[in-house]
Structure 1
């Protein structure tokens, strides 16, 4: 199976990613993208050649954890002519499962902040350059966690970007668990760029976040099929994929430069609603920051 990019979906005009990939290609394997989420159906035809370890695989393809993890990873790594976005199939995608796969009728304990922090650090030590968090943890938004703060401190010190879904509680206000200044927070919008009613918003999200499509994104489902995926969990990979493609153009660049380009210096930010992610505008910002020639095209 070849590493061709997926066909642009309804989300393409909003994100500018089809124009970014025209300049960057499918990504660079030196850019390792860590994904803290559920396990993945690594046997799915769209992911079978992605080289993911068996330890990341699902034991129960009917579990909610497998469904969520497969959806997020396929948004980044799907190959061939998949209907999933397949945003950076040329990058190295490294899943780190944290959700349990409950048996039928069973329940799983909530993910604790300390477990989330451990997973982030594990991915950093494994060589991740970007960590995608399309999830929350027990107490998310209710209390700040020293463990999570320490993990984000470690990411910043090691030059690792962190992209965090803003959450789907429909709240406008602070989210203390994710109050650290380093992560890029992602709110979700519809195909017209309007924030979804369930997406969390707030001053921190408006100041250091981005808006990305999160309504009915077609992506892989366990067992070889596909599913419509919505919410900030679906929005975060668009920002992660943009960052991965930007970094693929020059993997030796510092994380702070890639993050600045992603957020686009000088962009007005005066609302609880952040600006839309824009792949081509971010590439132009990166080129301005690094003194490289600007990309051609519209």
Structure 2
């Protein structure tokens, strides 16, 4: 855990993770690539798979496999491993949306409609939180009626949606992140400074958070570890924090958990959102409860 301790301290997570691994009633959906579900550090995790692209890696070196395995490790690796292992006691749903391209091949482009279907699938399967560490570009970042409807459906059902802000060096509006229920997350270095290339903007600053995202050590296909950077690494820090907060008060509605995460009263006049502060969120949640 030595490699992750600075990040846990930066995000105020040390005390919250020490309180327990999370409640299995709290269901976290990971909409991502397939994963190495045979990884030794994921062996004890409560992971269910949903239909979509294949959920188990077929090509260990594929970008999709490495990405999906990395995100799962941040959330569900065994406590005591080198990965952050934020909420391994929670239940994980893996809903794959990325395929594994063979050498020289390509995969279909993820569309807003495809992403909307995945979000609805996760909600219908019982998710409490949906993690979208997509970092996608082009059409998949566009706001669309089906995606708006999917986010509305999540809000109606009391399901949080955490979205990676992307790594395109973009400063300005990001259509995918403008839905009022989406919680955008940008990435920072170990000192809390925004990562070069991490997307920023007024919408992200007003409604989102900043979380660790530089060379976070997490699980890699084949049983080892890999450094993982970008907003895709930052988003599961927020998702894992939400899962642990909810584990302390499972009867609270999603809006209370979201409010505790975003810390009402925090100054939000910048394109850079405030840093995730799990200990402050826990105090806020205690007051709300």
Please give the range of the TM-score, normalised by the shorter of the 2 chains: over 0.9
Equivalent residues in 2 for 1:258-269, closer than 5 Å: 258-269=257-268
Give TM-score, length-normalised by structure 1: 0.92
Counterpart for residue 108 of structure 2: 109
Looking at structure 2, the residues matched to 106 and 83 of structure 1 have their Cα atoms a distance apart, in angstroms, of: 33
RMSD of aligned Cα (Å): 1.3
Equivalent residues of 1:134, 1:234 under 8 A apart: yes
Equivalent residues of 2:115, 2:140 under 8 A apart: no
Counterpart for residue 41 of structure 1: 36
Equivalent residues in 2 for 1:105-184, closer than 5 Å: 105-135=104-134, 136=136, 138-141=138-141, 143-184=142-183
Equivalent residues in 2 for 1:250-289, closer than 5 Å: 250-289=249-288
Query: Structure 1, unaligned stretches of length 5 or more?
Result: 1-5, 291-298
Looking at structure 2, the residues matched to 279 and 226 of structure 1 have their Cα atoms a distance apart, in angstroms, of: 25
Equivalent residues of 2:22, 2:90 under 8 A apart: yes
Match of 2:8 among 4, 8, 12: 12
Answer yes or no: is 1:83 the counterpart of 2:78.
no
Looking at structure 1, the residues matched to 178 and 24 of structure 2 have their Cα atoms a distance apart, in angstroms, of: 31
Looking at structure 2, the residues matched to 242 and 31 of structure 1 have their Cα atoms a distance apart, in angstroms, of: 12
- The Cα shift of 1:9 comes to 2.7
Residue 69 of structure 1 aligns to a residue in which SS? helix
- The Cα shift of 1:247 comes to 0.2
Residue 119 of structure 1 aligns to a residue in which SS? helix
- The Cα shift of 1:138 comes to 4.0
- The Cα shift of 1:74 comes to 0.8
